[in-house]
Amino acid sequence: MQDADLPLGHHNGPREFWPSKVQVMGGPAQGWNLTFEANQIVGFLAERLPNVRWKEPEVAEGETNMAIAYDFPPEFIIPDGSGLFRLNPAPSMFFDQLPYGITYDLLEMLVPQGNTEIVVAFDEFRSQFFVPGSNRNDGIFRLTEAVHSELSALMYPNAWGQDE
């Protein structure tokens, strides 16, 4: 049973507020490329979080990246988070702390952008293919619990007992 009176972000509270490190990328069928507009993601976060800051994209060593930082509302136990959008090559995004509820909403928003496969990787060396269109509670539960073993072993060979 979960205690709804706990501060948001506590792992004994509602799952949608549990934080996790999360990486989002396209699947193998898309060459690991995720289709998204950085400004749209910044706007998405700004609608849900009180303060979102970003830097202009920077090009270094053949990569174009855009850093972001954000604050959580005061009722969260985590004060802030940061992320990085890799814009080129192989576009993807990474967040050091993002609640599962916001992650689910973000993934649903990415589906109509032309993403036929979306891979989500979490800080527990766990990854999965996002399954769009489920009801929100089921989708959040799946994000917190599901694992695709073959994909996780491919992405984290050392953690899954595979040779590099």
Q: What is the pLDDT of residues 124-139, one digit of tens each?
A: 899 999 999 999 999 9
The torsion angle over the Cα atoms of residues 100, 95, 30 and 125, rounded to 10 degrees, is -70
pLDDT of residue 1: 47
pLDDT of residue 12: 86
pLDDT of residue 140: 97
Alpha-carbon span 102 to 125, nearest angstrom = 20
Per the domain annotation, does 164 fall within a domain?
Answer: no
Per the domain annotation, does 86 fall within a domain?
Answer: yes
98: left (phi over 0), alpha (psi -120 to 50) or beta: beta
pLDDT of residue 2: 59
- Domain range spanning residue 113? 17-155
Per the domain annotation, does 161 fall within a domain?
Answer: no
Q: What percent of the chain has pLDDT over 70?
A: 96
Per the domain annotation, does 141 fall within a domain?
Answer: yes
Per the domain annotation, does 96 fall within a domain?
Answer: yes
Angle at 142 between CA 160 and CA 69, to 5 degrees: 80
Entry pTM? 0.92
* Positions in the chain short of pLDDT 50: 1, 164
pLDDT of residue 63: 96
Q: How many domains does the chain have?
A: 1
Per the domain annotation, does 144 fall within a domain?
Answer: yes
Per the domain annotation, does 128 fall within a domain?
Answer: yes
Per the domain annotation, does 8 fall within a domain?
Answer: no
For residues 140 and 100, is the Cβ–Cβ distance under 8 A?
A: yes
